[in-house]
Amino acid sequence: MKKAFVKSYGCQMNAYDAARMADVLGKEGYAATERVEEADVVILNTCHIREKAAEKVYSELGRLRVLKGERQAEGRDTRIVVAGCVAQAEGAEILSRAPAVDVVVGPQSYHRLPDLLARSRETRVVDTDFPADDKFDHLPARRNRGVSAFLTVQEGCDKFCSFCVVPYTRGAEVSRSVPAILTEARALAEGGVRELTLIGQNVNAYHGPAEAGGTASLADLMRAVAAIPGIARIRYTTSHPNDMGEDLIQAHAELPALMPYLHLPVQSGSDRILAAMNRRHTADAYRRLIDRLRGARPDLALSSDFIVGFPGETDADFEGTMRLVAEIGFESAFSFKYSPRPGTPAAEREDAVPEDVKSARLSALQAALDRRRHAYQEEAVGQVTEILVEKAGRHPGQVAGKTPHMLAVQVDAPASTIGGLLPVRIVEAGTNSLFGQTLTSTAAAA
Ligand code: SAH
Ligand code: SF4
Ligand code: F3S
């Protein structure tokens, strides 16, 4: 049987695309493999968001060139595909930089993979169109993805933050229709999925065609998804503060399946930097928004992304970020050093922050975020909560799951609990996860 190796380098949407590409090849008779040496097709689903992520691809392609040569010497063919956001951004340039590559395919045209692979036997091919036909209409049905699954509901971004490549690599904001999403969600639920995370580059800007005509908001969509039998939990990511509408805030108060955890990137706590980033809101507007969200759902856990060392960022600007972090209390967060990206307005600026200053700020920020995260974990000890059991745990006899607040918990319980909601008491906080005890010995799959 032919084998395909697919690797994702990027965000959740990129991981979702990678899974669907594996399904496309599955339909063509390729079995998935985790061992690149035995793969007849290798797909690197790339990310362009920061320089490091993009450069990783070229070093990987260097290694693949050697592997391809070795396999060729044994009479075996290897097709090498570069997909994702680097493919979209760099297109044909990849062919000249990486001679081993056979196919370059962008995030909107990977449903054409079988055809592109066939054509690549004649000539190297590049497909970075934003085609008029919707890739989702051409993809095979998804295979079972376990207990918790991602579902892309919206793609692209019209925000044009001055540092970000996404509007260029993923194109304009597009929402899938409610019926198409519900069909996919129902199939996932029938396959055993209990938790759905609705994903999009700007998911809370969702405005898709509704079942009964008109336009559905993300809150409308989530109410419809919550009604699907089997779906116990809903999450969504990633959101922009300016698209947090009143109905979405209310959904956090009213929709029991919507989990009390929100990833709402703020990037910086300085108004001057936020303006230069083209975020179009102030730090205080973000604080007020968090107040409203906590008004709707007092136990809401928050997460964010931060960029340190944006061009022109002073010590005072950075202190603004540290103040915001201290005030809000994020349960978790991602933080990055600013990376100038080709084609973005911020990359043109000449007031770059020196690398050592960026590093020092990143360390200080991460230390503060880590302290808060640990405190959050410690506070959880003693609490009674419910976990969705997702998989076998680290040790025999254990299972692993997540609390509504996304905390990872290990519990001594049989594998038969996987896929169920299990009431637990948190008894201990480890470095990366919590340990819990089941509250009822009979708590089987709900
Ligand atoms: N759509 C999401 C995030 C997309 S990218 C949003 O708007 O929040 C994920 C994160 O990568 C961003 O939130 C940002 O913190 C970071 N990022 C994006 N471009 C970057 C750059 N040029 N340098 C450093 N970090 C960047
Ligand atoms: Fe990038 Fe900003 Fe769009 Fe997020 S909202 S994807 S950071 S341009
Ligand atoms: Fe990266 Fe593209 Fe996602 S640039 S973060 S893979 S949208």
| pLDDT at residue 444 is higher than 70 | no
End-to-end CA distance of the chain: 38
State the DSSP code for 195: E
Ligand 2 close to Cβ of residue 106 (< 6 A): no
Distances (CA, A) of 248 to 70, 152, 367: 54, 18, 32
Name the burial class of residue 213, with classes exposed (0-12), middle (13-18) and buried (19+) by CB atoms within 10 angstroms of its CB.
Answer: exposed
Pocket of ligand 1 (CB under 6 A): 49-50, 163-164, 166, 201-202, 238, 240, 265, 267, 305, 307, 336, 338-339, 341
| pLDDT-based confidence at residue 141 (cuts at 50, 70, 90) | confident
Token pair of 169 as six digits: 């690599």
**Tens of pLDDT along 222-254?**
999 999 999 999 999 999 999 999 999 999 999
Domain hosting 89: range is 3-127
**pLDDT value of residue 442:** 46
CA of 277 to the centre of ligand 1 (A): 11
Look up residue 267 and give its DSSP letter.
B
Give how far the C-alpha of residue 308 lies from the chain's centroid of Cα atoms, to the nearest Å: 21
Residue nearest to atom 1 of ligand 3 (CA): 47
Q: Which of 185, 212, 216 is nearest to 198 (CA)?
A: 185
- Tell me: do 331 and 219 sit in the same domain: no
What is the rounded distance in angstroms from the CA atom of residue 421 to the CA atom of residue 29? Answer: 36
User: Between 55 and 338, where is the model more confident?
Assistant: 338
39 occurs within a structural domain:
yes
Asked if residue 380 has its Cβ within 6 Å of ligand 2, the reply is no
Give dist(CA 204, CA 243) in Å, integer. 6
| Protein residue with its CA nearest to atom 5 in ligand 1 | 49
Q: Which of 380, 398, 423 is the last residue of a domain?
A: 380
- 229 lies in the same domain as 298: no
**pTM of the predicted model as reported, rounded to 2 decimal places:** 0.95
Give pLDDT, residue 144.
67
Residue 134 lies in a domain: no
How does DSSP classify residue 258? B
Decide if 135 is inside a domain.
no
Do 284 and 248 lie in a common domain?
no
Q: Are residues 38 and 91 in the same domain?
A: yes
Query: Which of these three, 259, 284, 302, is where a domain ends?
Result: 259
85 lines ligand 3 (CB under 6 A): yes
- Contact call for residues 236 and 199 (beta carbons, < 8 A): yes
Question: Per residue in 305-363, pLDDT tens?
Answer: 999 999 999 999 999 999 999 999 999 999 999 999 999 999 999 999 999 999 999 99
**Domain assignment of residue 76, yes or no:** yes
